[in-house]
Structure 1
């Protein structure tokens, strides 16, 4: 290699950093699945030709970044696409900015499973999935299985529109389980303006699209570690059922998140997953989503490690990279502890990487994090005392 130093002088060189920063991944892109018939009425193109936009191809994901994108691919809100259209509109109205939409031509296409989810699995940026208005056990279980298998997203599920009784078993047909920890269910359905009504009427629609928008809004304003609850449902005018505190007492422990009215505001008043008691560490949707965020961020941010020489120097670089990332998370309020040492630990050394592990071509790092949990039950103890 030629010597670059040919004359006396000062030479400034770039030195690669000892640790590479990890950038947090996005958490608010949604994936929607819904019915849009082949004969849906599509809007006319603005070129004056009189021709109309073609309806989007069935079973193919389309990126939608604004309401107009949806209209030109799936049509305005109408009877054929109402649940999906209201959901996407509610998503944007509540703070969502980016989603992928897959249509099927008929409700029967959803009855035996959700094959279209395999197309959504290939879109890495999706962090939330929903099938607005679909409450069958088969489809909702398929959504939960999809989220568990991908490991980087959660399902927003709708409760039954008109349950026989206001009980968890009638509102949700899916059982609480480990797989259920990858999704959350919301009840009741909500009342919104009906643009198809000539008299300015309203219609009852599933809440999942609006809730997905709240997830996105919450991530932007507070962070994914904050539970997406105690948030106003923008665009909602009323509720399909008015739930009392006594009724919610029987629903909340069973993982049914209720939308309730407080002083005229309709708020999401629950933040639980469908996890059973054996997997209570993922009781809260914020915990599941934050762990997804950590896993995906670390995965994408440490790809540079692959094929590096597996030495103590590499171990130290890994520790520095992860420590810097987790320290920023602690400063953002996502990790519990007065100091970073109390909030997390990172271990990558000879103990985690003995000779037999290195011979297999592996480098093993142990990470422990203390995630903040939502203050679900706020208790003030008030005592009357006698003045002295």
Structure 2
């Protein structure tokens, strides 16, 4: 307490008991993909690309491909081209995916490049043909490529802003399982996996999801999409949808909020589908958590909103439910770190209740929680009942939070009957 000696008026700044909790971002993606060391890179600004003689190429006038195994921040398509080159055979799967991300509303992503091995593997390459097990790997060893893709995920661990993770075109059980492991990491649990379904015409979970395990931290999409790429014969080269879907997630988060399911949304830049699935076909896939992309009135539309959670995790059936919880967990984690090592007493408990209450009230007002008034939508308990002497002696502060989530209207049912008019 300050000591006053001279008579007069003194004005003191008193810290507020409310320490605002800011909602974390949910729309930054992390992509891993194969980019050849030999991709053609663009000219640096102000360079001609030629030596003084005007005819000999000057290599130093061109950008250098980003190093492999290092996460790079990319904030637009031009930045991608400067780091990894324009769309070409040495980077086509990743480049189409990232272009689709930005085209569909994405603004920021981290990208880690995996280099081909010394034998010259081409990576995940849908240009290689219509193999039903594609992302076909034109490599000496698909397992070796998988191992490099999986290792690259570790570069995202320290990038706290990443909330969406995808390896476009990677459909092996090993790689998809590693993406789910990454998102489920107990030290993270703030990100969500977007997976590509296998290329197949058999509409079953076993064929589309393969042996990839169930998880509430990921969603899988089928079929692959036509973005206008052609092979030498002029046939469509279908692309994995995960990059475009990450952009759809980002767009919906920005325009509506993380509580809005990223579904019933048009995929910008998608011209067609490798397999057309109708209502009857989707009826056999939707209950198993396979999100179908369908064509309505010429628009390629996301027509599924489910995670890969199994029957034992019914409360996490919907993508929006899992992602809202991820958002709440990370926001509360970052917004209450000030409380660590504070005296564990009623004054602290009261501050915790006020701060969390103010934050959750904002979340409720955004439409993410169900209830006509805040007390119907959430509660925060932090008192001596939850924090008796034994808990405090262990150095712990226990806070109990309950929230009522808004879930998507997946099945809109209208009951219509004949009515003769008059009084009911």
Shift of 1:207: 0.7
Greater shift in the superposed pair: 34-43 or 61-70: 34-43
The aligned counterpart of 1:122 is 158
2:194 matches 1:184: no
2:32 matches 1:33: yes
Cα pair 1:193 1:237 within 8 Å, conserved: yes
2:400 matches 1:366: yes
The aligned counterpart of 1:259 is 293
Specify every segment of 5 or more residues in structure 2 that has no aligned partner in the other structure, as ranges: 50-60, 117-122, 124-141
2:110 matches 1:110: no
Separation of aligned partners in 2, 1:2 and 1:329: 39
Greater shift in the superposed pair: 106-115 or 63-72: 106-115
Cα pair 2:201 2:275 within 8 Å, conserved: no
The aligned counterpart of 1:8 is 8
Q: CA RMSD in A?
A: 1.8
Separation of aligned partners in 2, 1:99 and 1:325: 27
Greater shift in the superposed pair: 14-23 or 45-54: 45-54
Shift of 1:48: 1.7
What CA deviation, in whole Å up to 9, does each residue of 1:37-62 have, x standing for no partner? 11112122223252211111111100
Q: TM-score of the superposition, structure 2-length normalised?
A: 0.87
What CA deviation, in whole Å up to 9, does each residue of 1:225-245 have, x standing for no partner? 110001110111111111110
Cα pair 1:175 1:274 within 8 Å, conserved: no
The aligned counterpart of 1:290 is 324
Shift of 1:2: 6.9
Shift of 1:201: 7.8
The aligned counterpart of 2:135 is none
> Among 335, 338, 342, which residue is 1:308 paired with?
342
The aligned counterpart of 1:375 is 409
Separation of aligned partners in 2, 1:146 and 1:384: 55
Separation of aligned partners in 1, 2:410 and 2:2: 67
What CA deviation, in whole Å up to 9, does each residue of 1:342-387 have, x standing for no partner? 1111000001100011111111101111111111000011111112
Separation of aligned partners in 1, 2:236 and 2:45: 29
Greater shift in the superposed pair: 284-293 or 35-44: 35-44
Cα pair 2:176 2:212 within 8 Å, conserved: no
Cα 1:353–1:239, aligned 2, differ >3 Å: closer, same or farther?
Answer: same
Separation of aligned partners in 1, 2:373 and 2:98: 41
The aligned counterpart of 2:249 is 215
Separation of aligned partners in 1, 2:45 and 2:337: 46
Cα 1:39–1:2, aligned 2, differ >3 Å: closer, same or farther?
Answer: same
Map 1:274-289 → 2, pairs under 5 A: 274-289=308-323
Shift of 1:166: 1.9
> Among 303, 317, 334, which residue is 1:269 paired with?
303
Shift of 1:122: 1.1
2:80 matches 1:70: yes
Map 1:74-223 → 2, pairs under 5 A: 74-106=84-116, 107=123, 108=142, 109-112=144-147, 114-149=150-185, 150-161=188-199, 163-177=200-214, 180-194=215-229, 203-223=237-257
The aligned counterpart of 1:24 is 23
Cα pair 2:220 2:308 within 8 Å, conserved: yes
> Among 388, 410, 415, which residue is 1:354 paired with?
388
Greater shift in the superposed pair: 43-52 or 250-259: 43-52
What CA deviation, in whole Å up to 9, does each residue of 1:198-230 have, x standing for no partner? 999853111101100010000001000110001
Greater shift in the superposed pair: 61-70 or 35-44: 35-44
Cα 1:200–1:321, aligned 2, differ >3 Å: closer, same or farther?
Answer: farther
Q: TM-score of the superposition, structure 1-length normalised?
A: 0.95
2:371 matches 1:325: no
Cα 1:240–1:199, aligned 2, differ >3 Å: closer, same or farther?
Answer: closer
Cα 1:53–1:386, aligned 2, differ >3 Å: closer, same or farther?
Answer: same
Shift of 1:3: 4.0
Paired residues in the alignment total 383
Separation of aligned partners in 2, 1:43 and 1:370: 51
